[in-house]
Every structure is written in structure tokens, then in C-alpha cells.
Amino acid sequence: MASATTIADLERISADRLKDLVLAQAQQEIENPSPGSKVAIVDVRDDVGLVWPDLGRTGREAKEVRLRREVKERRLRRGDHVGGHIKSSLHFPSGSLDATMPTLLRQLADKDTVVFHCALSKQRGPSAALRYLREREAQQAQQQQAKAEGKGVAEGDKEEKGTEDGNSETELKVKQQKVYVLDRGFVGWQEVYGPDERLTEAWRKELWEEGY
């Protein structure tokens, strides 16, 4: 039995290399749009919704409070999904992965390359990638068990394999997939590619001017 995947097993991918993959995929979709993307980028940054109380202040004091609120809100939101995202990335917030992991597994089933990231790719991104890999391994093990018992495997997950005597036997198809974590996360990405509309969508320069 294969040993379980660990954080140490996760491979990193640089922003520069991911940029090449994104541009190559975009060009391929222009030339041959029917097959669909084989590269998926999963953004697990969490949305931050802030509700500020009305403190009833007026005049100069109210203006100062509003300014402090704006600065605090900007800092709290920076690094989460507000401020931009990699073009065509999938948004699966880490806080709701318990509920959305089955959907994520289905959406990534046919991908050749999957890249996870959060703000800095130090905690949420690697943790989500590790969880995805383990869930995927568990799913494949269940499918193999179902095949061995002769039940519960969808026809689309099977393939015919010829044998030496000319007969055929059914095997479970296992999609080979490379899973990476984006080095330095979206913070590092936007420092280089934030203004590039080919690569980044909804980038807001003003949220990043003071750094992360």
C-alpha cells in the first residue's frame, strides 16, 4: 500500500512557470476550443466581509473614524479574494472546503495539472492541496475496491484492455495528474503579473500599493 502524501511531498511551481502554462492554455483554447482546459488553478483565499457599526460620530471625528476604517478594511481584505485573481482560476475558499470538496474533485477529474494557492501559499494553499490529494487517493481506492467487488463503477471510468489470449478485461481508468502549490501565492503573483490583463482579472492596484 502506498504511503500517504504529506506536506513535504508537495511540489512548488513558480509564478513565471505558471504564467507560461496559463498563456499556453489560452492559446490552445483559441486554436482548439472543444477539448477544454487541462490546467486548473484553485484559489483558496477566503472572502472577508466586514460590517462596521454606526458609532453616531459627526464632523472631524467621524471623518477620522472613516479613514481608519478604510485603512483597516483594506488591510484585512488584502490577501483574500478581494484585490484580484489569476485569470480563469477556480475559487474554493478554504473555510468551506468541507462542503465543496466533492464538487472540486469532480471539476478537477479530467485535468492534467492542478495548482493550488492562497495569499502566500504558506498554510491554506498547501493544506488544501494536501487534502485534495488525500481525498483523491481515497476516492480512487474506493473505486478500485468497487471494481474488485464488481459494483459501483461508472462506465465512463472503465476501459477495455486486451489480454494475451485475445480476450479483453475491464480496468479502472486512473487519471494521472500533477498537483502543485504556487510559490509565494497570489501576493507574489500580483507583484509581477497584477497589471497584466492576460493573466490577472479584477486586479486593484490601490489595495496593494502599501504592500501585503
Asked if residue 83 is part of any domain, the answer here is yes
Domain of 139: which CATH number? 3.40.250.10
**What predicted TM-score, i.e. pTM, was given to this entire model?**
0.76
Whether residue 206 lies inside any domain: the answer is no
Residue 22 domain-assigned (yes or no):
yes
Domain count, the chain: 1
Instruction: Inform me whether the pLDDT recorded for 109 exceeds 60.
Output: yes
Q: What is the pLDDT at residue 20?
A: 98
Determine the structural domain holding residue 117 and report its residue range. 7-50+71-147+176-200
Q: Of residues 177 and 82, which shows the higher confidence score? A: 177
Per residue in 115-131, pLDDT (tens digit) is: 999 999 999 999 999 99
Average pLDDT of the segment spanning 26-39: 84
Whole-number Å distance between alpha carbons of 67 and 19: 37
Encode pLDDT of 132-154 as tens digits: 999 999 999 998 888 888 765 55
Q: Is residue 64 part of a domain?
A: no
Instruction: Please tell me what DSSP assigns to residue 131.
Output: H
